[in-house]
Amino acid sequence: MSARRSIIAAIFFAACGSTPASTPPASTPSPSGDRYVITASRVYVSPDAPPLDDAWVEIAGGTIARVGTGAPPSGVRRDDECSGGVIAAGFTNSHVHFLDPAWVDAAHKPRDVLEVALAALTTRYGFTTVTDTGSIPADTLALRERIRRGELLGPTILTAGVPLYPTNGIPIYLRDLPPEILHLLQQPASADEARAMVKRNLDGGADGTKLFVVTPQGHNTFKRMDSEILAAAVAETHAAGKLVMVHPTDITGVTAAADAGVDIIVHTTIDPPHQPWPKELVDKLVARHISVVPTLQLWGYELTKQDASRQEIEDSTHTAEQQLAAFARAGGQVLFGTDVGYMAVHDPTEEYVRMAEAGLTAMQILASLTTAPAARWKASARRGRVAATLDADLVVLSGDPAKDVHHFTAVTCTIHAGNRVYRR
């Protein structure tokens, strides 16, 4: 957990001029109103619809104008550099963090520096929408606004802003932060305090609320968010028409979140007891339309830092895979997410492999990347499918993920709002 401490401290104290060591992405803004076509060997219009072979997608002014098969429309410019692959709707990573020093002073940092970092974290892997589940709002909101205004090429950013923790329940891995930082970590002591904190966060521009309902305190002890405080935070968020995301830590945390009527569980669980989620809990999650972000790749990353054996890592990750498998079999809504930004590994290939090992088909994984998050955020009329009138958020792959899930990361081009934001 020391890496988490280092990252958070870096946000507050790193020099504003620090930059990631990388090369700029091949990003290309399209002129306003530009019309062009991309051809494809296959287009996955939606995970639950038959794919179109020998197909094309026409883009105009940031939206999808037409989708068809056979010869592409005549008289329309063809983007040869992004043509010839497999097209799907742009992907969503439903669990990211903007916790790197690269994001410090995002309101003023040069465009090329930020676009390098955005590509490395998001668009390089086809993500045209990301959900930040906790960061420094000033920087994340500045980044989001610069993308919205067209000053930066990057993904749509949804953010939970500043999380809430249990009363006197800062996790053990954050306790040695400087007092002035610890003071900023929100720990409501009453329902009224929770409502005020949630309102301030949402009024400040957050798209939802992140709650740590259980936090480790060391020596196998935990602090749990009071049920009245939890209920108040959920009610205040829902009254504003926003979503509640929960870091559960253990099975008891998942149960508390389900009973409180939250919207998204942002992790599976590997803390004791190490076991699949009981059927009654899975059924409750599904009946209450609560989504789950598996973050299977995270567990090996965390346990490796704790010097766990390979067998311990595999056993714990297998438990998480069993939780995902039971939830998906019961009809639960799965949202793809990796915890990248906290997790230093940007490449999500292992997450796709682990999800497949849990029994999810390629189309179920594609749904977790596209239609499911769009539905969860009530954005299905704008994104999640490849169809006329929707936003031109697309990913072009060099191989078919239905044949091999490794192809989910074989990204040739990423297009957001009609602009090419990444090209391999």
| DSSP string covering 34-76 | -EEEEEEEEEES-TTSPPEEEEEEEEETTEEEEEEESSPPTTS
Whole-number CA gyration radius for the chain? 21
**How far, in Å, are 20, 115, 245 from residue 118 at the CA level?**
10, 5, 23
19 pLDDT more than 70: no
Query: Is the pLDDT higher at 115 or at 6?
Result: 115
> What is the C-alpha separation between 341 and 394, in angstroms, rounded?
23
Q: What is the pLDDT of residue 182?
A: 77
9-23, 137-151, 392-406, 408-422 — which is least confidently predicted?
Answer: 9-23
Q: Is the pLDDT of residue 87 over 70?
A: yes
Min mean pLDDT across 160-169, 185-194, 213-222 is at 213-222
Count of C-beta atoms within a 10 Å radius of residue 158: 22
Distance separating alpha carbons of residues 315 and 310, to the nearest angstrom: 9
Q: Are 291 and 273 in contact (CB under 8 A)?
A: no
> For the segment 32-78, what is each residue's pLDDT rounded down to a tens digit?
458 999 999 999 999 999 999 999 999 998 999 999 999 999 999 99
Beta carbons within 8 Å of 422's beta carbon, 6+ residues apart: 25, 26, 27, 119, 123, 124, 411, 413, 414
Q: What is the mean pLDDT of the chain?
A: 91
pLDDT at 135 exceeding the cut of 50 = yes
Is the N-terminal amide bond of 273 cis, ω within 30° of 0?
yes
**Quick one: pLDDT band at residue 22, thresholds 50, 70, 90?**
very low
Reported as a single tens digit per residue, the pLDDT across 240-267 is 999 999 999 999 999 999 999 999 999 9
Note the pLDDT of residue 33: 54
Higher pLDDT, 21 or 288: 288
Asked if 160 and 134 touch (Cβ cutoff 8 Å), the reply is yes
**CATH topology assigned to domain 2-25+91-380:** TIM Barrel (3.20.20)
pLDDT confidence band for 303 (50 / 70 / 90): very high
Q: Quick one: pLDDT band at residue 179, thresholds 50, 70, 90?
A: confident
Domain residue spans of the chain: 2-25+91-380
Q: Read off the pLDDT band of 29 (50, 70, 90).
A: low
CB neighbourhood size of 21 (10 A): 6
Whether residue 23 has pLDDT greater than 50:
no
